[in-house]
Amino acid sequence: MAEITLNESNFDKEVLTSDLPVMVDFWAVWCGPCKILGPIVDELAKDYAGKLKVGKVNVDENNALAGRYGIMSIPTLKFFKGGKIVGEMIGAAPKASIEEEIKKHL
């Protein structure tokens, strides 16, 4: 399962009430580090299919969501479990570092 495009209308259903832990990538089209992180997020979505839900929020199209979660710089990865934020990574990071964070929340 590939990542899910999240927006204001599906965020609560897909993230906050998810049975699986969720990693949400807050990003924007114009963001250089987001372009670096994008393919890594795609790979992780495939690697952890069935164990972790992966979603992406375009902050330009969903600025109320970005505001709700205090996104000050992008890319930001937020990790949700049981409807609560359990972790966060700001900035582009190598796949191994993100995997370490994922494993804490599975």
Q: How far is it between the farthest Cα atoms of the chain? A: 32
pLDDT, residue 93, reads 96
Q: Report the mean per-residue pLDDT for the chain.
A: 96
pLDDT at 2 over 90: no
**pLDDT at residue 3 in the model:** 87
Task: Note the pLDDT of residue 32.
Answer: 97
Residue partners of 37: CB distance under 8 A and separation at least 6: 25, 27, 75, 77, 92, 93
The closest of 80, 79, 23, 21 to 51, measured between CA atoms, is 21
Is-catalytic flag, 31?
yes
61 inside domain: yes
* Residue 17: pLDDT over 60: yes
Q: How confident is the model at residue 23 (pLDDT cuts 50, 70, 90)?
A: very high
CATH number of the domain that 56 lies in?
Answer: 3.40.30.10
Which band of pLDDT confidence, cut at 50, 70 and 90, is reported for residue 81? very high
Q: Among the options 4, 23, 24, 34, which is catalytic?
A: 34
Closest CA to 89 of 51, 41, 49: 41
**Does residue 49 lie in a domain region?**
yes
% of the chain beyond a pLDDT of 90: 97
Q: Which of 4, 22, 31, 44 is catalytic?
A: 31
Number of domains in the chain: 1
Q: Which domain holds residue 69?
A: 4-92
| Crossing angle of the two packed helices 95-105 and 32-47, in degrees rounded to 10 | 50
Count Cβ neighbours within 10 Å for each residue of 16-51 and write b for 16 or more, e otherwise.
eebeebbbbbbbbeebeebeebbebbeebbeebeee
Give the integer Cα–Cα distance in Å for 24 and 4.
Answer: 9
